[in-house]
Structure formats: C-alpha cells, structure tokens
Structure 1
Amino acid sequence: MTQAPILTLTLNPALDMATEVADIIPGHKLRCSEPQLDPGGGGLNVSRAIKALGGDSLALVAIGGLTGDRLAGLIRGEGVTFLSILGPGETRQSLTVNEASTGKQFRFMLPGPTWGEAERARVFTLLGATARPGGISVISGSQPPGVPVDFPAQLAASMPESRVVLDTSGSALTEAVRHPIPGLEVLRMDGEEGEALAGRPLPTLADTAEFAQSLVHAGVARMVIIARGAEGNVLADAQHRVFAKAARVKVKSTVGAGDSFVAAFVLALSRGQSNDEALALGSAAASAAVMSDATQLCRPEDVMRLLPECAVTKV
C-alpha cells in the first residue's frame, strides 16, 4: 500500500525499563522481576507502532552516551529506520514499576540532558534535509531541558512543506495554543490538558468538540484532537466535529496509548484515508495499546479486531 513519507522527531528519548514488585514498601529493599527494556520517547514510540502496523517512517532520535548506545541497539533490534542526532550528555532512563498486590503502576521519568544552541542548530539542519514536501512530520513527546518554550514552532518552521503533527504537553502545548504555529496540520492533547487550556471542565462530548473547534477557528491547527480517555477521541476541523468510541478492553497499562493513537492516525492519513477512518484506526490502536504490558505498544491483530468497535459519529 502506497503511503506518503512519515518523519518522527524524538529529542528527549529514554531507555524505558519496566519491572514488577510484590509490594511497594518505603525503606525496604524491593526485589524486582527481570526488567523489560524498550526504546522510549514520543516520536520513537510512534515510529515503533507504525512499523508494527505495517507502515514505514524515518525516526530522528537524539542519542548520547552509553545509555544512548544501548537505546540505538534496541531501535535496530526492532527494525525501525532511524537517524541519530548527537545529543548532549547521557540519554535519560525511565522506570515503570507495577505493584503486583494492587495492580497500581508507578512511573519515574528522569529529565534528560540540557540542550544548548549547538544541539538545536543540528536538529534544524537535519530536519531541513530529511523532511519531505507533502510528507507528515510528527513532533511528539516531552521537550528536552534548555530549549525555548516556542521550540516546536521553530521545528515546524524548518519543515515548511511538511504536514506537521504536534503531540506535546505542559508549557510547549500552552505556547502552541497562545501563539499558533503557522500551517500546523494537527494538534493532539488529552482531556485534562484540554480542560486546563479551556479554563473550565469539559464534561460532555459536545463541550470537548466545541472547544476543539474553537481552537481550529482561532488558527491553532487545521485539526485538533482531544482524547477523552476510556471514552474515546474527539476530532474537529473547520467544518466537522466527530467522535470515535474507544473499544471496551481490560486495561493492563496506559503507557503508549497516545503514541499508538498518533501512529495509527498518521499512518491512515499518509495512505490517503479520510479523517474519520484515521480517527477510528487511532482509537482502535489506543485501545489495543492499553491491553499490553508496561511499555509495549499496540499489536496489529488487536487493532484490526477492535476496529469495528471504534465507530465514528458526528458530535
């Protein structure tokens, strides 16, 4: 199946470790199970899920130090096509610990090394050389320490002919809403972030859809997607407001659900499918991801099995 080029950008990747203990008790030595290691970080997870779903992408990944070398080995092992950007210092690690007695999950995210002007300049050069006209470029995950709050806008400006998808959080998300990025194709956020930006609760689908469409009309992006957790996902463009229901599944871990959504959504768009079809596939991928352990992403067989449940309706 033909598809437009997809580029993903991960500036603050992590070597993800996942383990389990019987009980988390302060002051005790906690005996952990054998850790599972995965390459992590928003854009990188998107590329991994695209690969699992039978698509292709090029992942640009900032890598540094011995942890970075180990991360690169894991990426190669998964068969994901990637280019490494020389990042500062040592690539960060993250730790997910499941408590067997309660089923609770604890996630420890280290900050990563601080970026300077030289590292930023390298990224702009590489993006200018690799982003393809008409292709889709995904800026996803946390921004590294040391970059300005409008860094996603600077990144997008270095890819003027690419359709840019932004999935970020915190001050970078707030900045992208207050000072819209010219030509941004898609902005995605979760429900809590949407409520924080709206300054009010968004209890109903209609509330969420109305707020998403208000952002489109304000020029924030051509499409705005707001995830409503286990309920599903809302998408608004200038003319339409639609909702794709999430499939009903048993939740093991919510890690990677958002990245799986973005991967499936972007892959569908790159293959020329409609926004509705892309939203349904994204919702099925997010539902499939929560069925898997720890840092694992969606499995293609689960996605296709759940897809019929993820019906798209107008809001």
Structure 2
Amino acid sequence: MQAPILTLTLNPALDMATGVPQIIPGHKLRCTDPHLDPGGGGLNVSRAIKALGGDSLALVALGGLTGDRLAGLIRAEGVTFLSILGPGETRQSLTVTEESSGKQFRFMLPGPVWGAAERARVFTLLAATARPGGYSVISGSQPPGVPADFPAHLAASMEGSLVVLDTSGAALTEAVRTPIPGLEVLRMDGEEGEELAGHSLETLTDTADFAAGLVARGVAKRVIVARGAEGNVLAEAGRRLFSPAPKVRVKSTVGAGDSFVAAFVLSLARGQDSAQALAMASAAAAAAVMTDATMLCRAEDVMRLMHEAAARDI
C-alpha cells in the first residue's frame, strides 16, 4: 500500500548529455551521440519513484516543440503525467563530460517567463489533483517571473496534502524566513544551510542543531540537510538522525538530490518512519552518482546499498 504522491515541475528541461575528449576554448569540439532524458526536479522525482517500484502523478509544464519532445520521452519511460500549458518554449539543458579528466560541465537555460495567467492555471490544477493525506513534492528551480514566496502559494492550493519542498535560492530563503504553514519536509544542501545559518556547519552536531532550530521555529516538521559525500542529517520534533553516504565510485552527481527526495517520499508514503526513509534516500542518492550523465538511481543498487546507509541518532 502506498499513499498518493504528486510531483510538480514548472521549469522542466530536455536534458542532453554528451562527451568530448577535451574541452579547448575556440576549437570545434566533436561530441559523442547525445543521450536524452526528461529533466526537472519534480519530474526526476517521479522517474526515480517509478524506478523504485512506486507510483506518482507528475504535473509538468510543457510548451512548444521542445515540450512535445519532452512529453514523448516521459511517455516512453511510463511515468504517469498531466501536462500544464506553459508559456513559450520548454527549456533545454546540456551536460558535457570531458573524457580526459572526467569533469562535467553543466549548461542550464533559464526557461520561459511565467505570468499571472499561467500561475492561476497551476493553482486550479493543483486544487483538483492533490489528495488530502497524500504527498505533494515541489522540487527544482522556480520558473522566471514567479515571486520568491511562490511555493507558499502552491502549498496553500493543496489543502490537506503533505508538502515536500526541495528548492534553492530566493525561494528557499523565503521559505525559511516566512514558514509555509504545515510544511511536511524541507530539504537543502550543506552550503545552503550554512548560508541560511550565517556560519559554517562543520560537524554533524552543528548541522543537527541548525536543522532542529528550523523545526522548532515551525519551518517544517522535518528538515533535511545534505552533507555531500559524508551523508545526510534529519531533524524532527524530539529526534535528530544521521545517515552516512555509502562509498561508491562517482560517475555523475546529476540527479542525486532528486533520487534522494524520491526514495524519501516513497518510503514515507509506504508507511515507514523517518530513519527508514532517510536510509533509503541516502542509498538512492549514492546509487544515482554511480550512473552515467543524467541517469537516476537503479532499484537494485539502492537495495544493495541500504545497509551502508542505516540511520543513527545524533
């Protein structure tokens, strides 16, 4: 049994990944055949949920010929989705791996600007599709043209839903400054945590203290801070947890955060507790970095790595 999961992607991308022997300024660089994936935070979460054997409904804003091609890639992966008419042309992104060094270069286009009419359509669709008691994931970059408090308006349109927020920049800052009522989960990386804290978070205890402080202020019921290759810290009322990151060979860090969110939400939707969810999420993030380019986690890798990611109290 699994509670309903809804994901929202307002700034998706047609992700292209390729490689070159060496990146040399001013030269024509002969690329390998590109690998195409449907991309964007919430959409990647839905893709990873499917890879892990779960179900979700992805709401995806699509526009233009690129949007049509992106829709075809989503269908090919078997992800259940509803398209939202977005403004302009859906954006593209490019990941280039320099084969001589293994370095990755990521080029992210901004996407079309959203106006009031597009925002109103999203609120209407969310009110109709979000299920009370289900999980709703707001993940990825916010599209140009929306205010910093847009996630709060999105959450307000999904009455009774358990909202998970994984964002960055001004939207993250605003969500911490002005808490979103009833927010279930807030996730961020370590650098974002340090910027919000105003000081370095050198130890697990430092990070746990910061996360617990946000929980105490009512920012979210659960706050997760990723500490990169070290692992992940979670705080909730009366408990602080750490899940170590399994040691794996890194091929690409693209999609690790989305795989983490997918596994965490799916675990909660299946009725597991925070410790179990955190361990599965850390294993999923590690599994994602083992894959090439824009690929996400594989279920067999996640299950194999779970024992290395067992959560413990801080």
**TM-score of the superposition, structure 2-length normalised?**
1.00
Write the distance in 1 (CA, Å) between the matches of 2:42 and 2:238: 29
Q: Cα deviations across residues 78-101 of structure 1 (Å, max 9, x unaligned)?
A: 000000000000000000000001
Alignment of structure 1 residues 18-57 onto 2, 5 Å: 18-57=17-56
Q: Which residue of 2 aligns with 1:193?
A: 192
Task: List gaps (5 residues or longer) in structure 2.
Answer: none
Write the distance in 2 (CA, Å) between the matches of 1:126 and 1:312: 37
Write the distance in 2 (CA, Å) between the matches of 1:307 and 1:4: 22
* Structure 1 residue 126, shift from structure 2 partner: 0.2
Q: Cα deviations across residues 211-241 of structure 1 (Å, max 9, x unaligned)?
A: 0000000110000000000111000011100
Q: Cα deviations across residues 40-88 of structure 1 (Å, max 9, x unaligned)?
A: 0000000000000000000000000000000000000000000000000
- Counterpart amino acid of 1:184? L
Q: Which residue of 2 aligns with 1:184?
A: 183
Instruction: Note if 1:94 corresponds to 2:111.
Output: no
Q: Which residue of 2 aligns with 1:308?
A: 307
* Structure 1 residue 269, shift from structure 2 partner: 0.2
- Counterpart amino acid of 1:142? S
In structure 2, the residue corresponding to 1:15 is in which secondary structure? strand
Task: List gaps (5 residues or longer) in structure 1.
Answer: none
Write the distance in 1 (CA, Å) between the matches of 2:308 and 2:147: 41
**TM-score of the superposition, structure 1-length normalised?**
0.99
Write the distance in 1 (CA, Å) between the matches of 2:239 and 2:142: 31
Q: Which residue of 2 aligns with 1:175?
A: 174
Alignment of structure 1 residues 183-222 onto 2, 5 Å: 183-222=182-221
Write the distance in 2 (CA, Å) between the matches of 1:213 and 1:200: 16
Q: Which residue of 2 aligns with 1:255?
A: 254
* Structure 1 residue 160, shift from structure 2 partner: 1.6
Write the distance in 2 (CA, Å) between the matches of 1:314 and 1:160: 33
Q: Cα deviations across residues 265-289 of structure 1 (Å, max 9, x unaligned)?
A: 0000000001100000000000000
Q: Which residue of 2 aligns with 1:129?
A: 128
Q: Which residue of 1 aligns with 2:76?
A: 77
Write the distance in 2 (CA, Å) between the matches of 1:218 and 1:71: 40
* Structure 1 residue 35, shift from structure 2 partner: 0.1
- Counterpart amino acid of 2:151? P
Q: Which residue of 2 aligns with 1:62?
A: 61
Write the distance in 2 (CA, Å) between the matches of 1:264 and 1:311: 14
Write the distance in 1 (CA, Å) between the matches of 2:293 and 2:204: 29
Q: Which residue of 1 aligns with 2:145?
A: 146
Q: Which residue of 2 aligns with 1:273?
A: 272
Q: Which residue of 1 aligns with 2:296?
A: 297
Q: Which residue of 1 aligns with 2:165?
A: 166
Write the distance in 2 (CA, Å) between the matches of 1:311 and 1:303: 12
How many residues are aligned here? 314
RMSD: 0.4
Write the distance in 2 (CA, Å) between the matches of 1:151 and 1:132: 20
Write the distance in 2 (CA, Å) between the matches of 1:102 and 1:268: 37
Write the distance in 1 (CA, Å) between the matches of 2:290 and 2:195: 28
Instruction: Note if 1:104 corresponds to 2:103.
Output: yes
Q: Which residue of 1 aligns with 2:114?
A: 115
Q: Which residue of 2 aligns with 1:157?
A: 156
Write the distance in 2 (CA, Å) between the matches of 1:22 and 1:113: 33
